[in-house]
Amino acid sequence: MLSSGPMAQAEPGQEGALDLEPCAPEELQRECEEVLRNRPPRIQRSFVSPGGSAHQPHPVRLMQWNILAQALGEGRDSFVRCPLEALKWAERKYLILEEILRYRPDVLCLQEVDHYHDTFQPMLGSLGYHGTFCPKPSSPCLGVEHNNGPDGCALFFRRERFLLEDSASMRLAATMFKSNQVAVVQTLRCRATGRSLCVAVTHLKALSGWEHLRAAQGSDLLQYLQAASEGRPGLPLLVGGDLNAEPDEEVYQRFAASGLGLDSAYKQLSPDGLAEPPYTTWKIRPSGESCHTLDYVWYSRRGLRVHALLELPTAEQIGPDRLPSYSYPSDHLSLVCDFSFLDPPQGPDQG
C-alpha cells in the first residue's frame, strides 16, 4: 500500500471524507515487517495499570506523538549520532506506521506531520480513521530543499468508535497577534456509550527564550476549551500535546491550574503520582545531549479515569546514540493512555 504510486488527496476541509478502500491492520503489519526485516528489533514497551486499576468496558485509547517532520529530520535537526540512512522516508514511514498499528489507538494526536496527504491520511483512512490536519502558517519545513509541504498537527479518530459532533482548527494567538503554532479541537460522541468528549492536539513554540509565548499560546487554547465546554457540564477533555515545556515552566502550570480540572496522565507512572517522567524526548545534536520532558496527555480528572499507561523505555533500551535510530523513527517517544468515562453528572445535559 505505502509503496504504491501517488494517492488521491482530499480537498481542504474534507480530510476525513475520502472514499478509501478498507485495509486490514494485519495486512499493513505484514507489509511493515517485510520492509523492516533488516532493521534491528524495535523497543519493547509494556502497559502499566496505575493503582492496579481493573479492566473497564469500552476504554478509550489515546496516542500522543511528535513523529518528527521528515524535512526537519533530514534537513535541519542535525541528529549527529543517527545515521542518515535511518532517516530515509522510504523506511521511516513504516516504523511510524508499525508503532501506530502496535497500539491501535482510538484517538491519535500527532505533531510535526509533513506527509499528511500522501501518507497518513490515505494510510490511516484505509484503516477506518477520520483525519483532520492543520498546517503551520509558516512551517520551518518550507525552508528545506525538496520538502513535502508544511508540517502541522493532525487528529485522527476511529470511525467505528466515534461520531464527530464538532470540529475546529485554530491558529493560536499570543499577546494580541497570531503565532505560528496551531491546534485541532473536536467533540466526539462514543458510539458504545453515547458519551461525548472533547479532544485537542497542539504543538507549542520550541526553544529556550520563548517561555512567555508558550504560556500565551497555552492560555489561548485553554480559553477555547473553556468556551467549548460551556453549556456542556461534565464534558470530559483530552489534550495531547508537545508543549515544548518542562513541568516547571509557566505553560505547564497554566494547564494544571486552568479551572478545567485537568491533570497529566503520565504522572501516574511515578511512585507518588506527582512527578512527570524523566524524559519524553532524548537526542544528541552538535550542541550536546538533550533529554527533556516536553510531551503530555492532559485529561479531565472529574470525567475520566486512567486505566493503563504505556511505560517509557529505559536508557539502555533507547541506546547510547539516543533518538531517532534504526529501531525508532522519532526523537520523541509516543505516549499511550487508556481512559474510561466516570459516571456523568446529574442534570438535563449529561454531556
What CATH number does the domain containing 310 carry? 3.60.10.10
- pLDDT bin (cut points 50, 70, 90) of residue 10 is very low
Is the confidence at residue 167, as pLDDT, over 50? yes
- At residue 54, the pLDDT reads 62
* C-alpha pair distances (Å), 89 with each of 26, 96, 115, 119, 189: 22, 10, 10, 11, 35
- At residue 53, the pLDDT reads 63
With pLDDT > 90 as the criterion, what percentage of the chain qualifies?
84
CB 39 within 8 A of CB 318: no
- pLDDT bin (cut points 50, 70, 90) of residue 5 is very low
C-alpha to C-alpha distance for 120 and 148, rounded to whole angstroms: 13
- pLDDT bin (cut points 50, 70, 90) of residue 56 is confident
* C-alpha pair distances (Å), 174 with each of 204, 213, 242, 244: 11, 6, 17, 16
CB 67 within 8 A of CB 201: no
DSSP string for residues in 242-289: E----TTSHHHHHHHTSSS-EEEGGGGGSTTS----S-SEEEEETTEE
- At residue 117, the pLDDT reads 97
Hey, what's the cell of 57? 468496558
With pLDDT > 70 as the criterion, what percentage of the chain qualifies?
91
Query: Is residue 209 a part of any domain in this protein?
Result: yes
* C-alpha pair distances (Å), 154 with each of 66, 114, 136, 192, 293: 10, 10, 11, 24, 21
Q: How many domains does the chain have?
A: 1
CB 324 within 8 A of CB 331: yes
How many other CB atoms are found less than 10 A from the CB of residue 287?
Answer: 8
Query: Is residue 98 a part of any domain in this protein?
Result: yes
Query: Is residue 5 a part of any domain in this protein?
Result: no
Per-residue pLDDT tens for 131-162? Answer: 999 999 999 999 999 999 999 999 999 999 99
Q: Quote the domain boundaries for residue 323.
A: 44-341
Is the confidence at residue 321, as pLDDT, over 90? yes
Query: Is residue 28 a part of any domain in this protein?
Result: no
Residue owning grid cell 458519551: 195
Query: Is residue 23 a part of any domain in this protein?
Result: no
Residue owning grid cell 517517544: 333
C-alpha to C-alpha distance for 299 and 294, rounded to whole angstroms: 16
Query: Is residue 4 a part of any domain in this protein?
Result: no
Is the confidence at residue 244, as pLDDT, over 90? yes
- At residue 72, the pLDDT reads 95
The one-character DSSP state at 326 is S
